[in-house]
Structure 1
């Protein structure tokens, strides 16, 4: 049976649009960056950035509606298995979390993975941390820069705070004081713990495999096979 015939309409749709939607998420993030950081430019540029953000969100919403229609499920059942789609629709800055979905969708076009498991995990964690860190720094700076008693006054402070939070260091020299800033902080803490755990576990597993292979290839010093009792 042909692979295309075996795929469902939903899978074929995802294979076509996953990569364009990823580029669309980068456009959304770039527009949001202009909206937050370009305070000294003409207002028309900030309004244009907002228009681009709105357009990208409408594209994401249309994609969600198509996925729901092609799944043939009711909304509540669709949300059980596609909760991440709903989450990134409500909070488009979290779309970097879909990088695994993007990779698996693109991988269907190949016979075998282009990268090893450990490289895939580390690459996913690194790119996700970079995009989420940038998005989190923008969002916190947007909330905190004019708040009374805020310690995050510049975007540099916000980037430093995002690095502290994602790496679970938490020096405490700069902290969010607004309710939404703290909500964003909790989200970054959870993502940071998950990404750090994935990288640490993958790296440890890779080291164990390397050392195991070396032990298997090393000839016994006394002529006995490996594992033999003295």
Structure 2
């Protein structure tokens, strides 16, 4: 019980600062990908910011692992946190925990369950789409036979992939680019399923309330 309280206290303390670190990491990564011609000093500074933010993620993971007292079981029960540690561009997936941390400070949620799920999915889609476009553009830029020649092409590809449309006019040709594409496809299916399922549930509940409120024989 003491371990749980310490863990909850630590998470409440660092969650919002880690969100800021995540945004800084994403911005620094974007600069590194989109401005390859930066002078050496600025590229070194940008790399230092990236590594500092990554180090903060590592410290947070190590502290929570230590406070949990679970040892290797912590890795299995916090699989998303483990993946995010090695792939920090996926930190937008932790947006739900961020919202929970904010609401704990206010005492209660301000949005209904359905609205929260759709807000989570929408925000995750935007952040992951941007991060995925950056990652795949870094791999595809200058590759032989690449159809993704500009960052705009990468954003278009990310939108089509997350929406599960897949026009095929812009596709990754490098092995790592295709690995990223597979991940984006899976995320797109999951997010789309969350939104459509939540919307369908909301409609069913709305119709059910209308039937319950209708006078007998009406």
Q: TM-score, normalised by structure 1?
A: 0.90
Count the aligned residue pairs. Answer: 218
State the Cα distance separating 1:45 from its structure 2 match. 2.0
1: CA distance, partners of 2:215 / 2:59: 62
Task: Select the residue among 43, 46, 49 that pairs with 1:52.
Answer: 49
Corresponding residue to 1:192 among 184, 188, 191: 188
Q: Is the 8 A contact 1:38 1:46 kept in 2?
A: no
Is there any run of 5+ residues in structure 2 with no aligned partner, and where?
Answer: none
Larger radius of gyration: 1
CA contact (8 A) 1:133 1:159 kept: yes
**Is the CA contact 2:3–2:68 (under 8 Å) kept in the aligned structure 1?**
no
- Which structure dedicates a bigger proportion of its chain to helix? 2
2:35 to 7, 17, 38: 38
Question: SS where residue 109 of structure 1 aligns?
Answer: helix
TM-aligned CA deviation for residue 104 of structure 1: 2.2
Task: Specify every segment of 5 or more residues in structure 1 that has no aligned partner in the other structure, as ranges.
Answer: none
Aligned to 2:211, the other structure's residue is in SS state helix
Once the two structures are TM-superposed, the CA of residue 7 in structure 1 deviates from its matched residue by 5.1
CA deviation string 1:55-112 (max 9, x = no partner): 10111111111111111121x2110111111111100000001111222233333433
1:96 pairs, out of 69, 92, 97, with 92
Residue 209 in 1 paired to residue 205 in 2?
A: yes
Superposed structure 1 runs of 4+ greater than 3 Å apart: none
Q: Helix, strand or coil for the counterpart of 2:81?
A: helix
Trace 1:77-226 onto structure 2 (pairs within 5 A).
77-220=73-216, 224=217
Tell me, yes or no, if the aligned pair for 2:4 and 2:68 is still in contact at 8 Å.
Answer: no
Q: Secondary structure at the match of 1:180?
A: helix
